[in-house]
Structure 1
Amino acid sequence: MQFGRLGMVAVLLAVWQVASGRWVDEFWISKPSAIWDVLWGWISRGEILTHLEATLTEMALGLFFGALGGVVFGFVLGRVKWLAELIDPLVTAVYSLPKIALAPLFILWFGVDLLSKVVLTAVVCFFLVFYNTYAGVRAVDDDLVDVVRVMGGQRSDLLLKVVLPSSATWIYTGLRLAVPYALIGAVVGEIVASNKGLGYLLAHAAGTFNTSATFAALFILMIIATFLNFLVDWSEKITSRRQ
């Protein structure tokens, strides 16, 4: 299967290389060799490290705080029904807002530095993790809860031995969805206002009509997103084995 995928990618790159400049104007689609030249130039000059550090820091902090808040609020509202019914209209109203449209407002409030990108990323990730966690907690089998209570289990036992294991799959689903959106939030914040980061590279390349650099930035983002999703899948497997 792996060799088949590698072969498919190799064929796609070969066709792309041949088609560029022959069947399609290179200005529109560039070509793999030109994209590699741009990537190697960024790497050899060490330029890419600064941009990677900025984007990954924004993404990691935003994902951490957004996921943490989503899990905590998801558990609280999932277990306290009257509180969930009370604030549900407010949560729904905020969730319905296009999160990307909040980027200019956050930059106005928090400036163009790290904080505005972290807040935007956290907000984007929060709702994805929150709704999945909330649904997972609400879907816990009531019979299991009753059994633990009959056996003298405390509230901590219910949370750690019933609610958390039962909702773990839902939480990881939310995390899996949040990971690429964390990257999107950080990049969009950089596109709106920044002087470093992969989003800045992407905006600068597009603004100067540099197709090769645009594809190079997109390629780096694709690699990062794929690696992060692999980490989420791996951590889910490890956690499942321990439960």
Structure 2
Amino acid sequence: MTEQLVSPERQAPGGGPVRIPVERTWWQRHGRTTTVWALRLLLVVVLLTGWQMAAGSLFDITFTSKPSAIAERLGEWSADGTLWTHSLVTIQEIVYGFLLGAATGALVGFLLASLQLAYRVIDPFMMALYSIPKVALAPLFIVWFGIGMHMKVLLAAATVFFLVFLNTAAGVREVDRGLVDAVRLMGGNRRDIALKVVLPSSMTGVLTGLKVAIPYALIGAVIGELVASNQGLGYLINDAAAQFDTAGVFATLVVLSVIAAVLNVLVGLIGRRVNRWKPVEAQG
């Protein structure tokens, strides 16, 4: 059962729209989503089947491996604990780096974008720092912080910071000035404007920054592991590549993709909860 909004002529006494329960079948409610997921699964099956059949005939498995070999390597690493040990290290680096970079990026973006003069002064410097390839920072971070987990966490955080900062600042600067003026006319102070207008209105920019930053947190952590590490999925890629184990490299990439997908789903769930304040039409 779902609810349907009626026309303005049939409004509730309080002025809001009337919600009338509408009986819908399971397929009417979930059919489109089910179709999308079925097509996605079909696409994956077709691609993997084509890859498996072409491996050894059209492609040299030395360079491309094949899905069955990748699955076998994942099974071996799962059985002996290699996969779980290295995955846990990388997940910790990604999560800590993402949280640190996202928190500081959102806070600095919100504060600076609220101060127009300060933002105009700082903006070109932020863009200059953002343009530096993060892989170029890895050697410097090694000198500063060593090759332990701290270096990977801070490298991931530095990558995430700029993406969240820029999107948060854009969200703050695009707040409807009419709403701000309305709160001022009603006697609201700067705190009321910041917490009741600017913060909710800028959440779209914050959430966009968080979603965009997820793969970059992973990239930052793995880059640090590729440059200097003796544990983690980046180290596992290096080790497999050194032994020309293409199946091992692809297996590690599969694990990294799964981690990124799970983090993306979590941010999406947070986004739905945060956006509950929006009108029904805006929630889509």
TM-score computed with the length of structure 1 as normaliser: 0.96
The corresponding residue for 1:111 is 146
Match of 1:2 among 37, 51, 65: 37
Structure 2 residue runs without a partner (length 5+): 1-35, 279-284
Identity of aligned residues (%): 51
Aligned to 2:172: 137
In structure 2, what is the equivalent of residue 148 of structure 1? 183
What is aligned with 2:14?
none
Q: Unaligned regions of 5+ residues in structure 1, if any?
A: none
Which residue identity lines up with residue 48 of structure 1 in the other structure?
L
Tell me how far apart the structure 1 counterparts of residues 274 and 126 of structure 2 sit (CA, whole Å).
Answer: 30
- Per the alignment, residue 188 of structure 1 pairs with 223
Report how many aligned residue pairs link the two structures: 243
1 CA distance for matches of 2:42 and 2:235? 33
1:77 to 109, 112, 131: 112
**Aligned residue number for residue 78 of structure 2:** 43
Deviations 1:183-229 (A, max 9, x none): 00000000000001011111111122111001000111111111111
> Which is bigger in relative contact order (C-alpha 8 A, separation at least 6)?
1
Structure 1 position 52 matched with structure 2 position 87: yes
Residue 26 of structure 1: aligned partner: 61
Matched, 1:238 2:273: yes
CA distance in structure 2 between the partners assigned to 1:92 and 1:218 by the alignment = 30
- Corresponding residue number in structure 2 for 1:221: 256
Q: Distance in 2 between matches of 1:158 and 1:200?
A: 48
Tell me the C-alpha RMSD between the 2 structures.
Answer: 1.2
Aligned partner of 1:55: which letter? T
Aligned pair 1:170/2:170, yes or no?
no
* TM-score where L is the length of structure 2: 0.83
Farther-moved stretch of structure 1 (35-44 vs 15-24): 15-24
- The DSSP-based 3-state class of the residue aligned with 1:176 is helix
Larger helix proportion, structure 1 or 2?
Answer: 1
State the secondary structure of the residue aligned to 1:140: coil
Question: Could you list the per-position Cα deviations for residues 129-168 of structure 1 after superposition, in whole angstroms to 9, with x for gaps in the alignment?
Answer: 0000011111111111111111122322212211011111
Letter in 1 for 2:86: H
Give CA-to-partner distance per residue, 1:25-53, whole Å, 9 cap, x none: 11111111110111011111111111111
Residue of structure 1 in register with 2:163 after alignment: 128
Cα distance in 2, alignment partners of residues 94 and 15 from structure 1: 43
What displacement does 1:3 show?
A: 1.5
**Matched residue type, 1:164:** L
Instruction: Give the Cα separation in 2 of the matches to 1:172 and 1:74.
Output: 13
Q: CA deviation at 1:242?
A: 4.4
Alpha-carbon separation, structure 1, partners of 2:164 and 2:176: 21
**How far apart, CA to CA, are the structure 2 residues paired with 1:90 and 1:5?**
42
Distance 1:117 1:45 in 2: 25
- Aligned equivalents of 1:92, 1:112: Cα separation in 2: 28
Aligned to 1:92: 127
Q: Report deviation, 1:88.
A: 2.7
Which amino acid is the alignment partner of residue 144 of structure 1? L
Distance in 2 (CA, whole Å) between partners of 1:93 and 1:13 is: 42
2:47 counterpart (12, 25, 33)? 12
